Chains A and B, each alone.
Chain A
Amino acid sequence: DTAVSQTPKYLVTQMGNDKSIKCEQNLGHDTMYWYKQDSKKFLKIMFSYNNKELIINETVPNRFSPKSPDKAHLNLHINSLELGDSAVYFCASRGIDNSPLHFGNGTRLTVT
């Protein structure tokens, strides 16, 4: 069973479009994250939710909007896509206290 699953795996779209990435975890974790990995492999935290409540919101453009319908799901919606949004987006979840992150396999977004 996949612990953290993201869909789609690949997403190719044109500038100006709106797209969503979905994430689900079956680990029973309360906290979920979105990270962006750029072409140089830098990982930057974007958002974090704890039990459906937004707890981390980094300096991310307003075009990015996370939504957590329940604690097992954290989706990422992106409006008006730009070339610079091209990256791999990783969803992750974490249990209580000092638990490590569990990552999905990523969604490779390519904006043309």
Chain B
Amino acid sequence: AQSVAQPEDQVNVAEGNPLTVKCTYSVSGNPYLFWYVQYPNRGLQFLLKYITGDNLVKGSYGFEAEFNKSQTSFHLKKPSALVSDSALYFCAVRDSSASKIIFGSGTRLSIRP
């Protein structure tokens, strides 16, 4: 069975500082990993994905994520946070042998000016 965990309900960061949103996963096969962002009253928007290749993947709005196989983690990062980054962030995983895409519980990112 596949699962994904986001240990932090909320992350607070000052504008201009680096941010990290944590995600760990569990799958039986090879993982396909995704990050999505949700703004109020909207659907989820795709940010980036890891399928294979370089462990550091870059995505939309300056976000990047690092795949760590030994720690089964896929943390989302950004070097310099913006107030407009404030939103709800979801990590998701799909086992390469399955169609089911499972989401973490979400982390609310709050960037203060």
The closest CB in chain A to the CB of B108 belongs to A41
CB B3 to nearest CB in A, in angstroms, measures 12
In the complex, which residues of chain B have a beta carbon less than 8 angstroms from the beta carbon of A98?
Answer: 32, 49, 51, 94, 96
Residue from the list A4, A31, A41, A100 in contact with B106, Cβ < 8 A: A41
Cβ-defined contact, B46 with A100, below 8 A? yes
In the complex, which residues of chain B have a beta carbon less than 8 angstroms from the beta carbon of A42?
Answer: 103, 105-106
A104 close to chain B: CB less than 8 A: yes
Total A-B residue contacts, Cβ distance less than 8 Å: 58
- A98 and B29 alpha carbons, distance in the complex (Å): 14
The closest CB in chain A to the CB of B100 belongs to A56
In the complex, which residues of chain B have a beta carbon less than 8 angstroms from the beta carbon of A101?
Answer: 34, 36, 44, 46, 92, 101
Cβ-defined contact, A50 with B99, below 8 A? yes
- What are 11 A-B interface contacts by the 8 Å CB criterion? A4-B43, A41-B88, A43-B103, A45-B100, A45-B102, A94-B101, A98-B49, A100-B34, A100-B46, A101-B44, A103-B36
The range of chain A's interface size is: 20 to 34
Interface residues of A in 30-87 (CB under 8 A from B): 31, 33, 35, 40-43, 45, 48, 50, 55-56
A105 close to chain B: CB less than 8 A: yes
The 9 A-B pairs at the shortest CB distance, nearest first, are namely A103-B43, A100-B46, A43-B103, A98-B51, A103-B44, A105-B43, A41-B106, A98-B32, A104-B43
- A17 and B78 alpha carbons, distance in the complex (Å): 47
B17 close to chain A: CB less than 8 A: no
- A42 and B88 alpha carbons, distance in the complex (Å): 11
A102 close to chain B: CB less than 8 A: yes
Cβ-defined contact, A31 with B99, below 8 A? yes
- A33 and B101 alpha carbons, distance in the complex (Å): 10
Interface residues of B in 22-59 (CB under 8 A from A): 32, 34, 36, 38, 41-46, 49, 51
Cβ-defined contact, B43 with A106, below 8 A? yes
In the complex, which residues of chain B have a beta carbon less than 8 angstroms from the beta carbon of A31?
Answer: 99
Known contacts A41-B106, A42-B105, A100-B34; is-contact A48 B43 (Cβ 8 Å): no
